[in-house]
Structure 1
Amino acid sequence: MPTRKQATQSVWTRPQSRREQPALSQEQIVSEAVRLLDAEGIDALSMRKLGARLDAGATSLYRHVANKDELIELVVDEIYGEIELPAADDTGTDWREAAAHCAHSLRAAILRHPWIASALGELGLSHLGPNMMRLSEEMLTLFSRAGFPLDEADQAVRTLFAYVTGMTTSEAAWLTTVARSGQNEQDWLDRLWPAAEEAVQGHPHLREGYAEARGRDPHESRDNNFHYGLDRVLDGLATRLPPAPTGLRPA
């Protein structure tokens, strides 16, 4: 007798319960989970602790989510809902400007919620969330209208998002480490510099780079690093576009 295939476990694939209206809504659960994560980080998240914050038992939460993994899928999609979408329906929109705006908005969202740096590596079918689907559709529309074939538009969007999440999750992890020290970023770096300069003594290029970086505003340096990489990604993607048609030569 053939075995029945089970659906992939995800909050986006599980049939929703049709039982009586629960006391807690999914929106309440997700909003409180985001507040908990922002305040205490990913390690503090548990169904029991979240239930206590909502003055409800964990059983009430299980009406909406089967486990912690599904809860993480929901809260991450909630954060994707904060990202400003490109104005893809505006035919006059410059694709690079719109893509850069979306990239900066994604970076800002990750830095507002640095715990997401850890959560992104644990996600299952996050791409099926409504906010992520909406973001993906708008970005594909933007790149398609810029002249990318649809299959390459998809690869271009993936490349852009991979750059932003890669750079920004590292940045978020760094800022989380600084926050745990109880110091601001500048004070943390000032205390770190002597050890860093000692470590690079045998590496001339690194030694020169560290010497040039000392005294710079760390926030400004992080911004500049992100801008540089983003511009280079967009430069590379631009080479994949067909050349713009030239106008007719005057008689």
Structure 2
Amino acid sequence: MPADEQSFPSVWARPQRQRREQPALSREQIVAAALRLLDTEGIGALSMRKLGAQLNAGATSMYTHVANKDELIELVVDEVYGEIEAPVPGDAAGWQAAITGCAHSIRSTLLRHPWIVSVLGEAGVAYLGPNMMRLNEAILAVFEEGGFPLDAADRALKTVFAYVIGVSTSEAAWLTMLARSGQGEQEWAERLWPAAERAVQEFPRQRELYAAQRGQNLRGARDDEFAIGLDCVVHGLAARFALEPGA
């Protein structure tokens, strides 16, 4: 491959290799198997050798489609983004409802695959993947329909993603830890509570907050906190770009 084609080490930055014969494995089969492995065993379990063993395939079949593990992760990340429900321009409820619905879908998708948040910053140029491209285009279209100039729509898109990924990263770490412990969310909280109460004794504001939160449904509380924060983000975007609340 010419040197200029190797300047960006990404599966999306090079042409697919052409073979005269039909390869033993398709890209779709490899990506599906990698996704199953990641969902069941986590990012630390993924290796080209282990994936090849699960697929009963040799390295030659694997490397027809991906040059290395980094390219494989790019493909799997884009596959996950394909699960997100993209907003649809022309939503009768308005752009804010469309963006809010999409943000909830992004969060739900990331939490179904909690390993993904640990690789989002390392997934090369994952934003060039076709599913990510389609999602971004749909979000930009909804913001434009709401009155955002294109450059403002781009800033708004990045702001929404920053909020959702930031919150989801903490949630995914929490859920991963719970999965390793074998305990439920409420069970873990009850066991930790005496230590938390001792820790906040000298901090009156936090002591009051902890007391008010005792016994609450943690899953419901996480959902509520996400929704409230997202509402602030969406209304903040509307205010920043001087749009009518119902636009």
State the TM-score, normalizing by the size of structure 2: 0.94
Deviation larger for 91-100 or 229-238: 91-100
Q: Indicate the residue corresponding to 1:81 in structure 2.
A: 82
Q: Indicate the residue corresponding to 1:168 in structure 2.
A: 168
Q: Indicate the residue corresponding to 1:248 in structure 2.
A: none
Is the counterpart of residue 18 in structure 1 residue 14 in structure 2? no
Distance in structure 2 (CA, Å) of the matches to 1:150 and 1:9: 29
Distance in structure 2 (CA, Å) of the matches to 1:109 and 1:180: 20
The Cα shift of 1:91 comes to 6.2
- Indicate how the Cα distance of structure 1 residues 91 and 224 shifts in structure 2: closer, same or farther if over 3 A, else same: closer
Q: Indicate the residue corresponding to 1:217 in structure 2.
A: 217
Q: Is the 8 A contact 1:80 1:132 kept in 2?
A: yes
Q: Is the 8 A contact 1:140 1:154 kept in 2?
A: yes
Is the counterpart of residue 156 in structure 1 residue 156 in structure 2? yes
Task: Write out per-residue CA displacement over residues 74-97 of structure 1, whole angstroms, 9 at most, x where no aligned residue.
Answer: 000000000001111x26451000
| SS of 1:239 mapped into structure 2 | helix
Distance in structure 2 (CA, Å) of the matches to 1:100 and 1:135: 14
Aligned alpha-carbon RMSD (Å): 1.4
Deviation larger for 118-127 or 41-50: 118-127
| SS of 1:15 mapped into structure 2 | coil
Where in structure 2 are the equivalents of 1:191-210 lying within 5 Å? 191-210=191-210
Deviation larger for 11-20 or 129-138: 11-20
Task: Write out per-residue CA displacement over residues 28-52 of structure 1, whole angstroms, 9 at most, x where no aligned residue.
Answer: 0000111000000000000000111
Q: Indicate the residue corresponding to 1:186 in structure 2.
A: 186
- Indicate how the Cα distance of structure 1 residues 170 and 11 shifts in structure 2: closer, same or farther if over 3 A, else same: same
Unaligned runs of 5+ in 2: none
Is the counterpart of residue 47 in structure 1 residue 40 in structure 2? no
By relative contact order (CA 8 Å, sep 6+), the higher-ranking structure is 2
Aligned residues: 241
State the TM-score, normalizing by the size of structure 1: 0.93
Is the counterpart of residue 72 in structure 1 residue 63 in structure 2? no
The Cα shift of 1:222 comes to 0.3
Distance in structure 2 (CA, Å) of the matches to 1:228 and 1:49: 42
Larger Rg computed on CA atoms: 1
Q: Indicate the residue corresponding to 1:61 in structure 2.
A: 62
Distance in structure 2 (CA, Å) of the matches to 1:58 and 1:207: 57
Opposite residue 75 of structure 2, the aligned amino acid is L
Distance in structure 1 (CA, Å) of the matches to 2:93 and 2:155: 21
Q: Is the 8 A contact 2:148 2:241 kept in 1?
A: yes
Task: Write out per-residue CA displacement over residues 165-208 of structure 1, whole angstroms, 9 at most, x where no aligned residue.
Answer: 11011101101001110111110111111111111111111111
Task: Write out per-residue CA displacement over residues 8-47 of structure 1, whole angstroms, 9 at most, x where no aligned residue.
Answer: 1100012211112211000000001110000000000000
Unaligned runs of 5+ in 1: 245-251
